[in-house]
A and B are shown apart, each in its own frame.
Chain A
Amino acid sequence: MNKIIAGATVQVNEEGYLTDFPQWNKEIGTALALEADINMTPRHWEVIDYLQGEFKNESPLSIRKIGKSGVVDIKEFYQLFPMAPLKTASKIAGIPKPASCI
């Protein structure tokens, strides 16, 4: 389905995750963050950059992996993106919801 975010039309799935990463830009990220009551700071963007980099490398993400990334520790990750940080941050980053292992 289509959704208008920050003046741009983007494709999202039923949970609101972008389905076409090239449509993402920083304004869209900022708007998606506001929907989750998060005001983006440079620190937030560092984490988002890391997530997008991993996504581009097709490297699956997990809380454990982020804790060992050297970019942010898990405690701070939760402070930046409260409640379900990996899901929230992935949505802001315009990448798919992390596949929870089966």
Chain B
Amino acid sequence: MKRLIILGAGTAGTMMANHLHNHLKREDWEIDIIDEREEHHYQPGYLFLPFDIYKPEDITKPIRDFIPHGVNLINDQIDKIVPKEQYVSMVNGDRLHYDLLIIATGAKIAPEETEGMLGEEWQKSVFDFYSFEGSLALRNKLRDWKGGKLVVHITEMPIKCPVAPIEFAFLADSFFKNKHMRDKVEITYVTPLSGAFTKPKATTALQHLLDEKHIHIESDFAIESIDNENKTIIDYGGRVIPFDLLVTVPTNKGDELIARSGMGDDLNFIPTNKATLQSKNYQNIFVLGDATDIAASKAGSVAHFEAEILTDNILRYIAGEPLKEEFDGHANCFVETGNGKALLIDFNYTHEPVEGSFPLPGIGPLRLLKESRMNHMGKLAFRWIYWNMLLKGTHIPFVSTAMQEAGKDFA
């Protein structure tokens, strides 16, 4: 009997448990999945919670509900991985030996990385919405905020869901319009990038929307510190931006256990082969989701596409066959633009987001890189798909793992 251990029961780990449970024979393999938490969070919901669009109960469910029978869920804290001796050491002292290890420990905010972020104003006028607690605290703040300078800010890349901050700015615009107080709020979008997004074509489309919604952008801003007394953010070049309400995306880092295991880079992300998802340092360790250092988006859709390829590769690894170098960095993201509309973007390592139709070439019904109500309905429907299909590893009809090129306008 061999043992496969999955670290992390978030989006990526849960999908792997479901896929592998269907493929590995129970008499040959024991599958364990370890997570210290008991609740699974639908993280895209953190974007909607502050605006009272979703309630906390819409976005949390017990982890146990999504782990198949036959896979052993261990609800406990991991101390570290000892890859050379092939075991996971638990905080309670247990040593869990593995033959194969899948790391899906994700990424989380590290506000302590920026001077002053965890100061006096943290959760008073400085908020994040990348954690459940932060998002909920921000909801309570927004419910009776009287207006002023709202600054939406990204500390440094990479972050989970790189489009979420701009979506936040768009949703804030429509939130304040609906409350008849848009004229009392000045919205500024502050980014370390040179423009609204990382990819030129999407940047042009998003810049147009920022202008239309009177959202001012400050680009190339690398934050040095937050001045809690004067309520300003300051960059290394000495640029100062005042705020009444700062909604920041702090530095994102991989889990501390990766640092304790000596397996990560300086942000605790794990060196991973970008096409096979095998760890660069240990053959019997595979990594997916936000925990890797690959240059794909840190997003649930990416984890979904990775999970399908990684399942194949694990089966190949077990059979002693060469791994498929198939992962193309495919990401597929809805971008909420406010007022009940959304954009849809589809891209990979080599192709930037373009216009076209999705998922059926020439038909859609979703339009790429264009605002529409249908796209917004798609984003809301996605929560159902997430809980009922995605986590369980059910294939989503018409959506292929590798990016399709038909029906898209590559210039």
Contact = CB atoms under 8 A, between A and B. Distances in A.
Interface of A: 62-65, 68, 74-75, 77-78, 82-85, 87, 99-102
B296 interface: yes
Contact of A101 (B194, B266, B295): B295
A102 B220 contact: no
Closest 6 A/B residue pairs (Cβ): A101-B158, A101-B157, A84-B220, A78-B236, A78-B237, A102-B198
Contacts of A83: 220, 237
A101 B220 CA distance: 14
Contacts of B157: 62, 100-101
Contacts of A87: 194, 220
Interface in B147-201: 156-158, 162, 192-194, 198-199
A102 B297 contact: yes
B136 interface: no
B227 to A, nearest CB: 16
Given A74-B222, A78-B237, A65 B296 contact: no
B266 A74 contact: no
Contacts of A77: 236
Nearest to A67: B236
B236 A75 contact: yes
A99 B237 contact: no
B296 to A, nearest CB: 7
Contacts of B331: 102
B76 to A, nearest CB: 33
A80 B192 CA distance: 18
B224 interface: yes
A63 B347 CA distance: 25
Given A75-B236, A78-B236, A102-B199, A84 B266 contact: no
B236 A64 contact: no
Interface string B114-139: 00000000000000000000000000
A90 to B, nearest CB: 12
Contacts of B347: 102
Question: Which of A78, A82, A100 has the most C-beta atoms of chain B within 10 angstroms of its own C-beta?
Answer: A100
A16 to B, nearest CB: 13
A85 B221 CA distance: 11
Given A82-B237, A100-B193, A102-B199, A65 B224 contact: no
A64 to B, nearest CB: 6
A27 to B, nearest CB: 27
B192 A63 contact: yes
Contacts of A68: 266
Contacts of A85: 237
Contacts of A78: 222, 235-238
A73 to B, nearest CB: 9
A64 B266 contact: yes
A52 to B, nearest CB: 21
A68 B113 CA distance: 13
B296 A84 contact: no
A85 B297 CA distance: 24
Nearest to B191: A100
A33 to B, nearest CB: 17
A102 B328 CA distance: 14
A80 B156 CA distance: 21
Given A74-B236, A78-B237, A83-B220, A63 B295 contact: no
Given A100-B157, A101-B158, A63 B297 contact: no
8 contacts: A74-B222, A78-B235, A78-B238, A83-B220, A87-B194, A101-B162, A102-B162, A102-B331
Contacts of B238: 78
A13 to B, nearest CB: 12
A72 to B, nearest CB: 11
Nearest to A77: B236
Contacts of A84: 194, 220
A75 B224 contact: yes
A98 to B, nearest CB: 10
Nearest to A64: B156
Contacts of B266: 64-65, 68
Interface in B311-370: 331, 347
Interface in B207-223: 220, 222
A28 B198 CA distance: 28
Contacts of B222: 63, 74, 78
B160 to A, nearest CB: 11
